[in-house]
Chains A and B, each alone.
Chain A
C-alpha cells in the first residue's frame, strides 16, 4: 500500500531561519513525488516535483530512495512562506491519483 507520512503538524521559525519539512513515503517501486502548498485563503497548488529537480521560491526537495524520504528545504525562511504544505506521491509515469500526507503548517515569524 502507498502511504505518505509527514511526522510533524506544525513548524514555527523566525524569518531568516532554515526550514526543513519532513516527508517519508512507502511505495513498492519508484513513485512520482510532489510538494503542494496552500496559502491562506488560496487553492492548493503545486510547489515542486522531484523529477524536475528545480528550486521554486527558494525551496528544494531531494529524493532519497534509500531512506524513502522527500524532505522540503529552504535555507532562509520568509514570512510569505507561511502556509500549509503537503507531500504527495503518485504512481510513476502518469497523472493518476495522488496520495497526500496529512500536511504541516509552516509559520514564519518576523
Chain B
C-alpha cells in the first residue's frame, strides 16, 4: 500500500466542462475526506464518507459538485459545468474511525479552469 493516491495530478479544463477526480485511500481506512485548497488558504472541508455513506457535506459543495464512494473503497469527486472559481487543489485524505488516528493525505489534484 503506497498511501492515498489521487488521479489525475493535474487537470486543465475549459469553463463549462465536467471533470471527475479519483481518490484511492489506504485500504484499511474506512473514512475518506475531500478538501479544497486555494492559494494562500488552508484546506477547506468539502465532504466525508464512512465506508460508502456520505456523512457530511459542506455548504461549499454546491449542486454542481457530487462525490461518491461506491463499495466503500475508492471515491470520485465530480464537478459539473466548471467555473473559473473552481480552480484549486483538491485534496483527498483517509483515516480509520478510531479516535486520534489522524489523517493520511494524498498529493492532490490541481484543477485549472480556463
- The residues in A between 55 and 106 inclusive whose CB is less than 8 angstroms from any CB of B are 86, 88, 93-103
Q: Which residues of A contact B62 (CB under 8 A)?
A: none
A9–B42 CA distance with the chains assembled, in angstroms: 11
Q: Is the interface of B mostly helix, strand, loop or mixed?
A: loop
**Size category of the binding interface on chain B:** 20 to 34
Which residues of A line the B interface, CB within 8 A?
A: 4, 6, 9, 32, 34, 43-46, 49, 51-52, 86, 88, 93-103
B108: nearest chain-A partner, CB-CB:
A43
- Closest chain B CB from A83 CB (angstroms): 14
Q: Smallest Cβ distance from B109 to chain A, in angstroms?
A: 13
Given that A95-B95, A95-B97 are known contacts, is A46 also in contact with B102, CB under 8 Å in the complex?
yes
Inter-chain CB contacts under 8 Å: number: 60
Residues in chain A near residue B107, CB distance under 8 A = 43
B106 near A49 (CB under 8 angstroms)? no
Please tell me if B74 contacts chain A, counting CB pairs below 8 Å.
Answer: no
Whether A93 contacts B43 by the Cβ 8 Å rule is no
Cross-chain contact B105 with A43 (CB below 8 angstroms): yes
**B90: which A residues are within 8 A, CB to CB?**
none
| Contact residue among A43, A97, A102 (Cβ-Cβ distance under 8 Å from B42) | A102
B45 at the interface (CB under 8 A from A): yes
